[in-house]
Structure 1
Amino acid sequence: MAQKPMTKTQLVATLAERADLDKKTAAAALDALTGIVTETVAEGGAVTLHGLGKFYCRERPERMVRNPATGEQIKKEADRVVKVTVAKALKDSVNE
């Protein structure tokens, strides 16, 4: 049976416990990490977190898409999407 996803509050509490920090410091560190990754990827860069994966931005070209409700073909403009490549270490730990 699948577990519920870990919330930010639970993540902060676990981080504080494992790093021997108070929750306020752990929350600030997590927010700073999130901000750094967001800013770097938004600028077109990439961030690799050893053991987790690589976060990066990819350009998608202009293309034709179909509206599933009407079946109408629509031209979709070029855009950028965030991609995550999961690290081999994380994949291997899940399949042990």
Structure 2
Amino acid sequence: MTFKELIAAYATHTELEPKVAEKAIRGLIEFIATKTAKGDKLRLPGLGTFEVKKRPARAGRNPQTGAAIKIKASSRLTFKQAATLAAAAPAAKKAKAAKGAAKAAPKAAAKKAPAKKAAKK
């Protein structure tokens, strides 16, 4: 969904003018960005939690040369969905689990003991 599609859908859902809906969505995004930039944890009931997590400096490797490099400390915005939101989509989880099980089944079958050789006569 693009940002324009989001605005149109939100405007239709809330019966707001598209300009008002866009202002509301942009305001929410700005509010989330401002609060999390200060290091605050922002919890939206029924949706989830936005939080900035800090990653310490660490050693890494250049994949092309294999040379050791230093990776600077950084921070990133994370989102953890609310339990109610996770419970609202159990069908998607079941489908994903079934897809994973289907991929694992041939591998498991291949690891079984080899078939017995026919007895020599």
Same fold (TM over 0.5): yes
Give structure 2 stretches of 5+ with no counterpart.
Answer: 92-121
Q: 1:83 corresponds to which residue?
A: 78
Q: 1:62 corresponds to which residue?
A: 57
Q: 2:21 corresponds to which residue?
A: 26
Which is richer in strand? Answer: 1
SS in 1 for 2:11: helix
Larger radius of gyration between Structure 1 and Structure 2: 2
RMSD: 1.2
Give structure 1 stretches of 5+ with no counterpart.
Answer: 1-5
Once residues 72 and 50 of structure 1 are traced to their aligned partners in structure 2, the CA distance between those partners, rounded to angstroms, is 46
Give yes or no for the alignment of 1:40 onto 2:20.
no
Which is richer in helix? Answer: 2
TM-score by length of 1: 0.85
Q: 2:47 corresponds to which residue?
A: 52
Give the count of matched residue pairs: 91
SS in 2 for 1:64: strand
Cα offset, 1:88, TM superposition: 1.4
TM-score by length of 2: 0.69
Once residues 39 and 22 of structure 2 are traced to their aligned partners in structure 1, the CA distance between those partners, rounded to angstroms, is 26
1:6-27 Cα shifts (integer Å, max 9, x gaps): 1111111111111111000000
